[in-house]
Amino acid sequence: MKNILSLLAVVLFTTAIIAPTGAQQPQGPGQGAAPAGAPAQPPAPPVRTISQVRGDLYKVQSGAGVAAVTVFLVTPEGIILADPLNPEFSAWLKAELATRFPGKPVRYVINSHYHWDHARGGGMFTDTARFVAHENMARNLALPIRQARPPGDTDDLDGDNRMTREEAQTGTRANFDRMNGNGDMFLTQEEMAADIRRPDITFSGERYTVTLGGKRVELVHAKNRHTNDLIDLYFPDERVLFAGDYVWINRLCCNFAFDRRPMTTWIASLKALEQIDFDIIVNSHFEAGTKADVVAYRQFFEDLMAAVSAGIREGKTVEELQKTIRLDKYRNWNGYTQTAVATPSLEQAIQSAYANLTRYSGN
Ligand SMILES: [Zn+2]
């Protein structure tokens, strides 16, 4: 089982983390580096696109396929930006915004959570912006790695509060050299957080509203889905929700085995999102969708959990469940019949649900 779970971890997160900044990121050994002796290839320019979602709300995509996504809202008094993603991206975005919206500086940067693949690069906007996040974000950045793990299934296995290249997994390994500021053999929490601007404004409740130029965005705590500081951004005038990791559209999910929180926590978070009055959902990765897509995604979690729970009660092995659970309703989703980047197959989803349900209380 361990090997299959490791594979699942790689499948889930490798591309998700590498894709956002595209070929600008140096690759670690075994992570796409050219073979020794091969001629050096010039890096391809990253694919970055800005598109209107609704009204003055725009989506910015960095990278193709799985991508990393952020949003910004233009108001008469300036711009409210969500995740800055990384220094190269935010430098590019700052120039784009100056050209497209002259005289409208970024006044707020709202970090969805502490993970480096979304939170880095805020320093580009410190001259004009204030930084907002859930209070747990600042805490997480100061915690030992084991208590605030990096994205990409990476953990500090030997507990020495620093990661070797071997301990770092997937995207964190691929970006090891980039983040290893002092060039030694280890990656520390401080090094991963070096490009992350700490918030000026934090909140601790369920919601916090940022207003600017007569427009508003509501920050909604995601109730411990994925990380304990994760917030989703609700734009009530546009009826749009920007959701952090992972609310995927027509796509199997997730690595519940590594996640270390009961599947029921995810389901409760998704149900809370359904109570919000929105039409369009923009995700931190992958495609945008509608509220109906979020409902279907939550139902997938519930159907998967129910089927695997029933099998566990009957004493079946995970291998038996992988052969018998079909969940045909989701046959057209990414990952079900074909391999999709950063997406588990149905067998892998069953395996991760099995591990979660037999490991964590609260399910
Ligand atoms: Zn994350």
Listed in sequence order, the residues at least 6 apart from 75 whose beta carbon sits closer than 8 Å to its beta carbon are 56, 104, 212, 213, 214, 215
Burial of 322 (0-12, 13-18, 19+ CB in 10 A): buried
Instruction: Give the CA radius of gyration of the chain.
Output: 20
Indicate whether 340 belongs to any domain.
Answer: no
What CA–CA distance (Å, rounded) separates 229 from 251? 24
Distance from residue 235's CA to the centre of ligand 1 (Å): 21
pLDDT at position 156: 86
Ramachandran angles phi, psi of 96, nearest 5°: -60, -45
Distance from residue 111's CA to the centre of ligand 1 (Å): 11
Indicate whether 145 belongs to any domain.
Answer: yes
Distance from residue 20's CA to the centre of ligand 1 (Å): 12
What CA–CA distance (Å, rounded) separates 57 from 172? 31
Instruction: Give the largest CA-CA distance in the chain.
Output: 65
Distance from residue 254's CA to the centre of ligand 1 (Å): 12
What CA–CA distance (Å, rounded) separates 217 from 81? 10
Listed in sequence order, the residues at least 6 apart from 312 whose beta carbon sits closer than 8 Å to its beta carbon are 354, 357, 358
Ion ligand 1 residue ranges (Cβ < 5 Å): 115, 151, 245
Total structural domains in the chain? 1
Distance from residue 244's CA to the centre of ligand 1 (Å): 7
pLDDT at position 147: 92
- Written as tens digits, the pLDDT of the chain (363 aa) is 444 444 344 333 333 333 333 333 333 322 333 344 445 566 666 789 999 999 999 999 998 777 899 999 999 999 999 999 999 999 999 999 999 999 999 999 999 999 999 999 999 999 999 999 999 999 999 999 999 999 877 788 899 999 999 998 878 888 899 999 999 999 999 999 999 999 999 999 999 999 999 999 999 999 999 999 999 999 999 999 999 998 999 999 988 877 789 999 999 999 999 999 999 999 999 899 999 999 999 999 999 999 999 999 999 999 999 999 999 999 999 999 878 888 899 999 999 999 999 998 777
Tell whether pTM > 0.95: no
CATH number where 230 lies: 3.60.15.10
Distance from residue 68's CA to the centre of ligand 1 (Å): 11
Distance from residue 313's CA to the centre of ligand 1 (Å): 32
Distance from residue 310's CA to the centre of ligand 1 (Å): 30
Indicate whether 139 belongs to any domain.
Answer: yes
Nearest C-alpha neighbor of 73 from the set 241, 278, 292: 241
Q: Can you say whether the dihedral through the CA atoms of 363, 204, 258, 359 is positive or negative?
A: negative
pLDDT at position 149: 92
pLDDT at position 337: 81
Q: Tokens 């090997």 sit at which residue? A: 3
Nearest C-alpha neighbor of 220 from the set 42, 209, 147: 209
Distance from residue 226's CA to the centre of ligand 1 (Å): 7
pLDDT at position 42: 60
Distance from residue 234's CA to the centre of ligand 1 (Å): 18
pLDDT at position 321: 98
Distance from residue 245's CA to the centre of ligand 1 (Å): 5
Distance from residue 292's CA to the centre of ligand 1 (Å): 23
Indicate whether 324 belongs to any domain.
Answer: no
Distance from residue 101's CA to the centre of ligand 1 (Å): 30
pLDDT at position 133: 98
Distance from residue 35's CA to the centre of ligand 1 (Å): 31
Indicate whether 317 belongs to any domain.
Answer: no
Indicate whether 169 belongs to any domain.
Answer: yes
| C-alpha 183, offset from chain centre | 27
| Domain, as residue range, for 283 | 2-25+46-181+188-298
